[in-house]
């Protein structure tokens, strides 16, 4: 079993799990952390041009950002617009 570093950003309600030195899974802290099977709201990948966000519901669509912070901000806004019941 692979152990991944996980960071919780309480102020924006996101849990970030490092998958590799250049890839992260981002989850909503309102949903339980179920490890490898947790429901991500997005993935961030560092590229030569910056950071790309992939939506799990649209794996072929990528949004590019200059910084990790910009990518996280977009995902926190997506989290904020999610009005579904997390249970």
Domain assignment present for 87 = no
Domain assignment present for 1 = no
Predicted local distance difference test score (pLDDT) of residue 36: 53
Domain assignment present for 20 = yes
Kindly report, residue by residue over 33-60, the tens digit of the pLDDT: 665 556 789 999 999 999 999 988 887 8
Of residues 26 and 59, more confidently modeled: 26
Q: How many structural domains is the chain composed of?
A: 1
Domain assignment present for 86 = no
Q: Which of 39, 35, 10, 40 is nearest to 24 (CA)?
A: 40
Predicted local distance difference test score (pLDDT) of residue 2: 63
- Average pLDDT taken over every residue of the chain: 83
Q: What's the burial of 35, exposed, middle or buried (CB within 10 Å: 0-12/13-18/19+)?
A: exposed
DSSP 78: H
- Examine the pLDDT at 18 and tell me if it is beyond 80: yes
Q: Starting from the edge strand earliest in sequence, which strands make up the sheet with 40-47, in order?
A: 6-9, 14-20, 23-28, 40-47, 50-55, 58-65
Predicted local distance difference test score (pLDDT) of residue 85: 44
Kindly report, residue by residue over 68-77, the tens digit of the pLDDT: 999 999 999 8
Domain assignment present for 74 = yes
Domain assignment present for 57 = yes
Predicted local distance difference test score (pLDDT) of residue 87: 41
Parent domain of 63: 6-81
């Amino acid at each position: 079993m692979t152990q991944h570093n996980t960071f919780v950003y309480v102020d924006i309600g996101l849990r970030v799990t490092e998958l590799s030195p250049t890839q992260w899974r981002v989850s909503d802290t309102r949903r339980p952390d179920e490890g490898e099977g947790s429901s991500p709201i997005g993935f961030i990948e560092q590229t030569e041009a910056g950071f790309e966000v992939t939506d799990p519901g649209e794996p072929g669509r990528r949004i590019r950002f200059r910084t990790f912070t910009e990518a996280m901000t977009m995902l926190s806004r997506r989290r904020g617009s999610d009005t579904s019941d997390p249970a």
